[in-house]
Chains A and B, each alone.
Chain A
């Protein structure tokens, strides 16, 4: 039982924190959001140089061979700066989908380019109308000769707007399957949009899309998807902690400086206690992130599922409390696009709904 990080892990955290502080200040981020694609290839390359894109790729495929703890530390640091580049989508989830599939050919073919940051993949696991159930997609795949045909619609709301290929789940006659679909493939319509949190998202429509046999990621797709969602929740929890810590700090700063009735508004106990509630929630969120990172690979499936569910429920509750109170305590200026806090609030609002809302995971916990 210990909560210490190795020297390498501490160094990783420091280097990502420094990168975010130096290159992802609020104004720099605004400029990135205002640019055409809404995210920055330059930043992405910088993250790749730091090793963030290679973090969990096995060493034999050009990665650093890290695990959930490394992911947690990097994601928390990225959360502090509201980094919109698709680390969660590509470096965490896509990497996990491929490695968890156990398809050695796909690993060798795809992971090196993910590790180097040369390619960006986003998961397309959820669909409109199925809410947070990734286990039974409506998108159908059928065999056509040696290859496949794909029909249906997908959401790629985690990093999809920045991806050059998607990992798409679909139903084959014999069960669930995963396919790698290039963004420019004929028969795929990609609608790229921005989330209210500024992240690059996409919705996908497949109309008799044809895929070669090699596009299918082998192995047991259902368990790879479950594993990827566990890993995603753990990483998202850590990102949420970074966002919340910054939101608490910004709010406490504001309470100390904003004057009304001839004193800083932080002198008023009603506001102090609201800010304390935010702080306590952010600390609980950190415990949740630690629990998720510590158990997302637990061999005992019930223990793993309960930990992931507990983490996401806690993150969601904390995110809502911290976000809403942060805006309230900032007053009118908290509503403006100009103040950073509104951006933190928007990201927290999105995080609450990514990879399962509180009700979804409460039910999962109760039934685990």
Chain B
């Protein structure tokens, strides 16, 4: 089957999803990121790899943090970064997505970082570039709808590997609103590909997608049961709008059942790590004592995220 992320030589040319990403390429991204961690610790936090290249941040949906981490990553690779506030510009005037892309290609773009509320938008762009014969332009998905957020998934894998060394003996729980979470989907595909033997999903029935078991995920509705003996706990952000959609009674009720407190965390392994993609809702999905506690690796995730994005951009730009 044609894999739109890979070129004819099987090399990564766009990063669209962790689904269908070969294990060897995931490992290459994580290994390369480890080298970029060293670059970020230097006095001069910059290497000349993407000197003269133009990286366009196309955020059709707002996300200051993700956009900033991509911007930092591109700048540390010496690329020129152009941030387009799409919501307020051409799209608002009625231009189609692909017309916007054609215009940016005419401005000699080399790489698009795309965040879009619609699932599949980065695929559409990659497919368009292939059709017009621009295999020298690359696309990195920075989150599309409910579908995928592959750089977050990969930085989560980097974090797990950093603290747990390897994936082959782990029990990983993902807690919260998995139904609406592109992070959860990207994590599940990456964890499975990298050989994690037990992936758990914990949440209320209304926030878990059906057929999770077909992805090899064990489903739990009871937090205490699901957390038992886990090595890694990935908390998801509870989006406030879910409360209005009648999916949940209230934030307080949610916290009582699925909020990660020190008491609930004590059921996981004593050396379990707690992750969160941010931004956190303290007192909704996570208790401050956990978020600021010794098992939380939420801030290191942010640091690793820059190195992982540097790795992804430099690998795709070279292929």
Whether A and B are associated in the same complex: the answer reads no
Q: Give chain A's interface residues, CB within 8 Å of chain B.
A: none
